[in-house]
Amino acid sequence: MGLDVQRQGDVVVATWRDGENRLNPDTVGALDALARDIEQVEGPCAVVLTGEGKFFSNGLDLERFAGNRDELLATVSVFQQLLGRLFVLPAYTVAAINGHAFAGGAMLTCAFDYRVMRDDRGYWCLNEADIGLPLSAEMAAAVLGRLPQATALEAMLTARRYSATDALSAGIVDAVTSADRLVEVAVERAAEVAAKHRDVIAAHKRHAFGDVAARCGWPRRA
């Protein structure tokens, strides 16, 4: 997986460089390892995740999973646990949505504390109603746990494609900006929070999203 991780002061910036940034055992594993590494960092720390080019993430790697249902189910299970882990990660997290965020990619953004989207290109979309793959209860918990209920239901039931402006109005993202400033704005936001007490941030995230994390299967059972 092409996950380029760099440190900008107190902010860890991870750039996902894997084409459409599909979710498969390799990519989910790399994102999970990033979360584990952040948990082990001592001192000030916040995280930015972005993609490269046209896609933030185009969801599950369905082409890879064709004819391999066991791998699909295993990946979905680990991905759901990753969502739960991110919801309560003991660090402030920012998704810099550089392009399309579809299906699992859209769900992934919901696990971040702050979402900023480029203003000129890309859609945020839960397209399961179009492709005939219903969200699991765990995935629905992640979406409903973050978004305004009316927005979550519209997204889940209609497969609407939200532009950056639409996503901002609907409460899916917190800010929009130009493509050339996307990562800069995300890092600035992350840096504002990075030096705050992480144990307090962690406690507050558990208060707000502990139930969502548990429904997603995090922490993992032995």
Q: Between vectors from CA 97 to CA 186 and to CA 27, what angle results, nearest 5°?
A: 110
pLDDT of residue 222: 62
Domain span at residue 100 reads: 3-215
Has residue 17 been placed in a domain?
yes
pLDDT at 1 over 70: no
Torsion angle of C-alpha atoms 7, 8, 12, 13, degrees rounded to 10? -100
pLDDT digits (tens, 9 = 90+) for 147-168: 999 999 999 999 999 999 999 9
DSSP string of 149-165, one letter each residue? HHHHHHHHHH-PPBPHH
Flag whether pLDDT at 97 surpasses 80. Answer: yes
pLDDT digits (tens, 9 = 90+) for 164-184: 999 999 999 999 999 999 999
pTM: 0.97
Is 221 domain-assigned? no
Question: Do 161 and 123 form a contact (C-beta atoms < 8 A)?
Answer: yes
CATH classification at residue 200: 3.90.226.10
137 pLDDT tier (thresholds 50, 70, 90) = very high
Q: Which residue has the tokens 């504002």?
A: 192
